[in-house]
A and B are shown apart, each in its own frame.
Chain A
């Protein structure tokens, strides 16, 4: 069914995968209050040197309150034909309440910009045929991405959206006029890929349904992570670590319904030695997670910010080879590759801390903040 090789777009030299380093930033108001992109744009720009202008992007949650119940598809079109074909496919399968071009600022110099459109969609009951809507949406996203030449869905969740492209994140923000949008949760990414595709779809965040992933590092387990996910029907067409992480989270949490804590223990498990020291029931759980899902262990250096509606999580690999700083100020929760970027937008913090490797820091809507336990995490920030 895959007649279009996405890999050629994103990975023109057919490397094992696209390798890139990065800067990450995430901020969330756990009370649900929305705010503009102004601060996160400044914050990610402050880490300019961690990216090289070949990729930048943002994810925004709480973005489309008027259309909150509809799947918001963001599409990149390389040509007119792609749009016609895609819109035909969408109309055939969905009730389309709105179709519009995503407003951009033409004065910003970016190269290779594709046509950018968005649609608010509801799957037709007849097409669903009793299947969960989410599964149906994933299938259609994969279908467009792999079968329609020149079309790429880069955002497909509800009341959220991804904006990204092949440029520095601050330029992408200006291009998409992100200062004019508001959301309660934003993540951002500046990318430093080691090859030079000018393809916009390759930038982060990577999205499927309302999951978004921004990622820093290179996962040396990619080969097996990918082969494992393929067993469950995920086609890793972009050949990036980030795509693999998003599918892994979707498989574990949406399809296998694992609680977040368990899913995290799959991605960054405890060492066997530590598992041995756990109390019996916990030991059994961790051993089972590692034995059954060992192929999804993300090995090698990484920091990720994974977000979905109402939740944002930061996680590093279990021997913490990539950096992450977390901070809070009132209802605001921050995650960043570097503390300085947080201080730039919020000089006074209640706490700023470096989470332990492999231990997630999670913020949830409703004001509950879940953070790693322990001496270091409990340490007071310097402010």
Chain B
């Protein structure tokens, strides 16, 4: 069938600069650049280009530029190019549109409508460079009160397991298989160096990475890939994955091509078979079933690890979160509609779920109304782009945040949304050994450490400006937030006042 799809990008090659070295040919994993044997010249099959910029940045003479194709349709606010092309694509394939990364639609980003406070006169700002500024956070269930013996000051209450993180930022679930071992290694090392945690995602943990167990969150998802006693015991926190922001309500599908020998061994499935994650966890059809799985995991690890439950932020997130807390979870991870994925149906990625900002506010408020906020730690995920987003999430009520996309961008990802193709030219979201070696775990870890370091310095500056020297004094402290350009209803849900009020 002849395709009616136009090219998306133009590959501009400056002949004056190009030295015909073929670096772009080697770097492009989408089969765009090639040497034309007849003409003995490097050329491009532009119809394949996804705009990932790998070739641009690796061309030694900077001879390349990638531009959007200037092809314009007749103006139409309704039938936009993307919509027309999606229809063409489906008409030619008859399938579900698959995509990668988080939604690219213009859902409101409430972070950009929230502004922070700073001290002036009535209390001093604190200088974080010279005075202590504490970001440490303990994740885990807290009792309502403590019992301390008078006189001896002996602590009589036994606390549930608590996990300290030195920066309130964790690396989100990225499963091995979806991403390469080198990405996992980079994340694990960076988490260890920064005193935080990375999340295995649902594909198990490679044996070689067990040594990073103290900084690992081991995920247990519907496919139960690689879940065995050693895996459960090696991590610091266990996380039951109910859903994820990019694709609430549906399962996953790691195509057999990505299931290499190592991936297969880690997931404990035969090499080359599809790894299918069912949509629900088939032992959880209700909240009491969740309680049963939580208890099973605690029992399997002798009550030494907090258990987290990750859900996609959906309409009833507040009520669901309350149920999860009551079911015995120690941590609730909320993933908003802007959360990313290795592969998801585009229609779901772009249309299902709610923005994380509203979800944090609603959940924190509800848990407080019910007097159970202290029973769980709250981790927010899905669209955290910078330290400003982090600090706003915490002021709204989160204990910490997960970052996924931001971490991948630190490793080189240019958010080209081709993760589902397995061809990631940056060597991140692929198991093609030729590509995965593009990530050097030493450099990768360094880039991630730098990112977290930069963000934590910024967080300290902002905290100091607010006159706060310990993160717990900002957590849920919505008085340090104001809204701009928001409706009364939005302000009410966020629990913040309008700027100027």
A residues adjacent to B (C-beta < 8 A): 14, 16-17, 19, 21, 194, 217-224, 227-228, 230-232, 255-259, 261-262, 269, 271-273, 281-282, 284-285, 287-295, 297, 299-301, 319, 321
In Å, the complex CA distance between A299 and B477 comes to 12
In Å, the complex CA distance between A256 and B150 comes to 12
Q: Does B3 contact A (CB under 8 A)?
A: no
Residue in B151, B466, B501 whose beta carbon sits within 8 Å of that of A220 in the complex: B466
Chain B residues, Cβ within 8 Å of A291? 138, 140, 142, 159, 162
Residue in B140, B467, B472, B480 whose beta carbon sits within 8 Å of that of A294 in the complex: B472
Excluding A262-B153, A288-B155, 6 further A-B contacts by CB distance (< 8 Å) are A218-B123, A223-B478, A255-B145, A281-B154, A295-B475, A319-B132
A271 nearest CB neighbor, chain B only: B132
Q: In the complex, which of the residues B132, B148, B151 has the most CB atoms of chain A within 10 Å of its own CB atom?
A: B148
Contact A292 B143 (CB under 8 A): yes
Q: Annotate B116-147 by CB proximity to A: 1 below 8 A, 0 otherwise.
A: 00010011101000011010101010110111
In Å, the complex CA distance between A295 and B136 comes to 14
Contact B473 A288 (CB under 8 A): no
Chain A residues, Cβ within 8 Å of B373? 231
Contact A299 B122 (CB under 8 A): no
Q: In the complex, which of the residues B124, B138, B147, B469 has the most CB atoms of chain A within 10 Å of its own CB atom?
A: B469
Contact A288 B467 (CB under 8 A): no
In Å, the complex CA distance between A16 and B501 comes to 9
B residues adjacent to A (C-beta < 8 A): 119, 122-124, 126, 131-132, 134, 136, 138, 140, 142-143, 145-151, 153-155, 157, 159, 162, 368, 371, 373-374, 466-470, 472-480, 497, 501
In Å, the complex CA distance between A217 and B136 comes to 25
What 6 A-B pairs have minimum CB-CB distances, sorted nearest first? A223-B479, A294-B472, A221-B473, A299-B473, A223-B477, A220-B467
Chain A residues, Cβ within 8 Å of B470? 269, 294, 297, 299
Question: Is chain B's interface secondary structure helix, strand, loop, or mixed overall?
Answer: loop
Contact B159 A292 (CB under 8 A): yes
Contact A218 B122 (CB under 8 A): yes
Contact B477 A288 (CB under 8 A): no
Contact B475 A294 (CB under 8 A): yes
Contact A231 B159 (CB under 8 A): no
**A221 with B501: in contact, given A232-B371, A259-B150 (CB under 8 Å)?**
no
In Å, the complex CA distance between A258 and B150 comes to 7
B155 nearest CB neighbor, chain A only: A285
In Å, the complex CA distance between A256 and B142 comes to 15
What distance in Å separates the Cβ of A262 from its nearest Cβ neighbour in chain B?
5
**A295 with B126: in contact, given A220-B119, A231-B368 (CB under 8 Å)?**
no
Chain A residues, Cβ within 8 Å of B132? 271, 273, 319
Chain A residues, Cβ within 8 Å of B136? 272
In Å, the complex CA distance between A72 and B145 comes to 30
Residue in B155, B157, B368, B469 whose beta carbon sits within 8 Å of that of A227 in the complex: B368
A289 nearest CB neighbor, chain B only: B146
Residue in A230, A256, A293, A319 whose beta carbon sits within 8 Å of that of B469 in the complex: A319
Contact A295 B368 (CB under 8 A): no
Q: In the complex, which of the residues B151, B477, B497 has the most CB atoms of chain A within 10 Å of its own CB atom?
A: B477
Contact A194 B145 (CB under 8 A): no
Contact B131 A319 (CB under 8 A): yes
**A299 with B467: in contact, given A223-B479, A227-B476, A294-B472 (CB under 8 Å)?**
yes
13 A-B residue pairs with Cβ-Cβ distance under 8 Å, sorted by A, are A218-B123, A220-B473, A221-B473, A224-B474, A230-B368, A256-B146, A259-B153, A261-B153, A262-B153, A287-B138, A290-B472, A291-B159, A301-B467
Contact B469 A299 (CB under 8 A): yes
What distance in Å separates the Cβ of A247 from its nearest Cβ neighbour in chain B?
14
Chain A residues, Cβ within 8 Å of B476? 223-224, 227-228, 295
A14 nearest CB neighbor, chain B only: B501
A251 nearest CB neighbor, chain B only: B145
What distance in Å separates the Cβ of A285 from its nearest Cβ neighbour in chain B?
5
What distance in Å separates the Cβ of B452 from its nearest Cβ neighbour in chain A?
18
Chain A residues, Cβ within 8 Å of B143? 292
Chain A residues, Cβ within 8 Å of B479? 16-17, 222-223
In Å, the complex CA distance between A265 and B418 comes to 52
What distance in Å separates the Cβ of A278 from its nearest Cβ neighbour in chain B?
12
What distance in Å separates the Cβ of B501 from its nearest Cβ neighbour in chain A?
7
In Å, the complex CA distance between A17 and B123 comes to 13
In Å, the complex CA distance between A160 and B479 comes to 35
Contact A272 B134 (CB under 8 A): yes
Residue in B138, B142, B157, B473 whose beta carbon sits within 8 Å of that of A297 in the complex: B473
Chain B residues, Cβ within 8 Å of A232? 371
Chain B residues, Cβ within 8 Å of A301? 123-124, 467
Contact B147 A257 (CB under 8 A): yes
Contact B501 A19 (CB under 8 A): no
In Å, the complex CA distance between A282 and B154 comes to 8
Residue in A231, A261, A288 whose beta carbon sits within 8 Å of that of B146 in the complex: A288
Residue in B146, B150, B466, B474 whose beta carbon sits within 8 Å of that of A293 in the complex: B146
B138 nearest CB neighbor, chain A only: A291
**A271 with B146: in contact, given A220-B466, A231-B371, A297-B470 (CB under 8 Å)?**
no
Residue in A21, A269, A290, A319 whose beta carbon sits within 8 Å of that of B122 in the complex: A21
What distance in Å separates the Cβ of B267 from its nearest Cβ neighbour in chain A?
36
A292 nearest CB neighbor, chain B only: B142
In Å, the complex CA distance between A194 and B122 comes to 9
Contact B153 A221 (CB under 8 A): no
Q: In the complex, which of the residues A14, A223, A281 has the most CB atoms of chain B within 10 Å of its own CB atom?
A: A223
A319 nearest CB neighbor, chain B only: B131
Chain A residues, Cβ within 8 Å of B478? 223, 227
In Å, the complex CA distance between A300 and B122 comes to 10
Contact A292 B148 (CB under 8 A): no
B131 nearest CB neighbor, chain A only: A319
Chain B residues, Cβ within 8 Å of A256? 145-147
**A224 with B473: in contact, given A291-B142, A291-B159, A300-B468 (CB under 8 Å)?**
yes
In Å, the complex CA distance between A271 and B298 comes to 31
In Å, the complex CA distance between A14 and B497 comes to 11
What distance in Å separates the Cβ of A170 from its nearest Cβ neighbour in chain B?
24
A220 nearest CB neighbor, chain B only: B467
In Å, the complex CA distance between A116 and B119 comes to 38
**A285 with B148: in contact, given A221-B468, A292-B142, A292-B374 (CB under 8 Å)?**
yes
**A292 with B145: in contact, given A223-B477, A299-B469 (CB under 8 Å)?**
yes
In Å, the complex CA distance between A295 and B473 comes to 6
Contact A262 B148 (CB under 8 A): yes
In Å, the complex CA distance between A285 and B122 comes to 34
Q: In the complex, which of the residues A220, A259, A300 has the most CB atoms of chain B within 10 Å of its own CB atom?
A: A220
Chain B residues, Cβ within 8 Å of A262? 146, 148, 153
In Å, the complex CA distance between A222 and B395 comes to 12
Contact A224 B475 (CB under 8 A): yes
Contact A258 B146 (CB under 8 A): yes
In Å, the complex CA distance between A259 and B143 comes to 18
Chain A residues, Cβ within 8 Å of B147? 256-257
A227 nearest CB neighbor, chain B only: B476
In Å, the complex CA distance between A289 and B143 comes to 11
In Å, the complex CA distance between A262 and B147 comes to 10
Q: In the complex, which of the residues B131, B480, B497 has the most CB atoms of chain A within 10 Å of its own CB atom?
A: B480
Chain A residues, Cβ within 8 Å of B134? 271-272
B143 nearest CB neighbor, chain A only: A292
Chain B residues, Cβ within 8 Å of A221? 468, 473-474, 477
